[in-house]
């Protein structure tokens, strides 16, 4: 896994084979952040990374200057790995070992940008979208990005802005 840009750009972070996660590909991640470069001021936003897995997206946001990042994953080994890397590089990432849906029910602090990358095949995207929307975790005028496979369709949601496709990786963008 590689950090693409920012203060840690080019750094390779070895990922343990014990982690059961599918990190966003470098190609798709680079495309995503090329879009975000024109949309956000990294030093001014707060980020919530749901289903954070290896922490790939959180690390990229931290490298680009985001000062408050929360990473949520249900697997202890994922949270431990993210904490270890964040401490090693002194990244401002707070981790939560939690079921994302339970986290959303109890969340009280909104974020300007929420990124969700659930397991492609095991996720009810309609349920996830509604849980995020109902939780009010996305600030007013904030952005939600859901990563999904090619067979998931979210364009019918009223807050949908666009969907970008990079091979089998799709990002659906929403504004609240």
For residue 25, give the DSSP letter.
P
In a domain, 132, yes or no: yes
Q: How many domains does the chain have?
A: 1
The boundaries of the domain holding residue 59 are 26-175
In a domain, 11, yes or no: no
In a domain, 37, yes or no: yes
The answer to whether 138 and 110 have CB atoms below 8 angstroms apart is yes
In a domain, 20, yes or no: no
The answer to whether 98 and 123 have CB atoms below 8 angstroms apart is no
In a domain, 64, yes or no: yes
In a domain, 15, yes or no: no
Series of mean pLDDT values for 10-residue runs along the chain (176 residues): 95 86 90 97 97 97 98 97 97 98 95 96 93 96 96 95 96 97
What pLDDT shows up at residue 23? 82
What pLDDT shows up at residue 19? 84
Q: Give the domain CATH number at 162.
A: 3.40.50.150
pTM metric for this prediction:
0.96
In a domain, 123, yes or no: yes
Burial of 61 (0-12, 13-18, 19+ CB in 10 A): buried
What pLDDT shows up at residue 21? 85
In a domain, 2, yes or no: no
């Amino acid at each position: 896994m590689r950090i693409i840009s920012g203060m840690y750009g080019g750094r390779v972070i070895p990922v343990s084979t014990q982690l059961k996660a599918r990190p966003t590909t470098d190609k798709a991640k680079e495309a995503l952040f090329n879009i975000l470069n024109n949309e956000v001021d990294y030093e001014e936003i707060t980020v919530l990374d749901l289903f954070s897995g290896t922490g790939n997206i959180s690390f990229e946001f931290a490298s680009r200057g985001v000062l408050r990042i929360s990473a949520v994953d249900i697997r202890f080994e994922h949270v431990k790995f993210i904490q270890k890397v964040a401490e090693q590089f002194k990244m401002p990432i707070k981790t939560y070992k939690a079921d994302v849906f339970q986290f959303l029910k109890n969340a009280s602090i909104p974020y300007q940008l929420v990124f969700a990358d659930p397991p492609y095949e095991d996720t009810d995207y309609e349920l996830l979208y509604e849980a995020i929307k109902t939780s009010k975790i996305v600030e007013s005028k904030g952005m939600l990005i859901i990563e999904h496979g090619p067979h998931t369709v979210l364009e019918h949601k009223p807050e949908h802005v666009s969907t970008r496709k990079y091979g089998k990786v799709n990002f659906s963008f929403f504004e609240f």
